[in-house]
Amino acid sequence: MHTKTNQVYTLGKPMTEHQILERAAEIIATKFISRDAFTDVKATKEYLTFKLANYEKEVFAVMLLNTQHQLIEYRELFFGTIDSASIHPREVVKAVLEVNASAVIFAHNHPSGIAEPSEADKRITTRLTDALGLIDVRVLDHIVVGKNSVSFAERGLI
């Protein structure tokens, strides 16, 4: 990777802004993967901001974690409109079971830039927490990404 006239290139082709942010998220994940970084809200927010902030539509993702809260897999599960996405607890449970995750962190973006959790955000978090509780999987946090990021755990909502 090298730069020319304020553009970043890889394999001779300019990278898009989204590709650059994706790569930054990968670097952050690699940097912290051997530690309990995803118990650190600041590092988690940083990682998720690079992953989700660039979308123009709402995207709901889950960080699937092992028993040490290290990242097994980041997976974008649901894609919506500019102000909502339909979330299906069954699909979240299925993703958790596929990789044998023991904990999760939910995340979604608010394309408006306003990261304040809505009542719908709070309700779906409760539904997902209840569903995963039945199979002994902990929900550590739900991060809403906008111009700033909001942590449900920091606000005492989880």
**Structural domain of residue 115, as residue ranges?**
2-151
- CATH number at 10 reads 3.40.140.10
Residue 123 lies in a domain: yes
Give the separation between CA 143 and CA 147, rounded to whole angstroms: 12
Q: Which phi and psi angles does 18 have, rounded to 5°?
A: -65, -40
Would 135 be classed as within a structural domain?
yes
Q: Which residue has the higher pLDDT, 85 or 30?
A: 85
Does 9 reside within a domain? yes
Q: What is the pLDDT of residue 102?
A: 96
73 lies in some domain: yes
The C-alpha atoms of residue 136 and residue 117 are separated, in whole angstroms, by 25
Q: Which helix (H) or strand (E) holds 52?
A: helix 41-52
Residue 157 lies inside a defined structural domain of this protein: no
51-61: per-residue pLDDT in tens?
Answer: 998 898 999 99
Higher per-residue confidence, 43 vs 129:
129
Is a pLDDT exceeding 90 seen at residue 84?
A: no
- Sign, CA dihedral 80-49-21-75, equals negative
Identity of residue 3: T
How many domains does the chain fold into? 1
Q: Which residues contact 90 (CB under 8 A, 6 or more apart)?
A: none
Residues pairing with 145 in the sheet: 109, 149
pTM for the model: 0.77
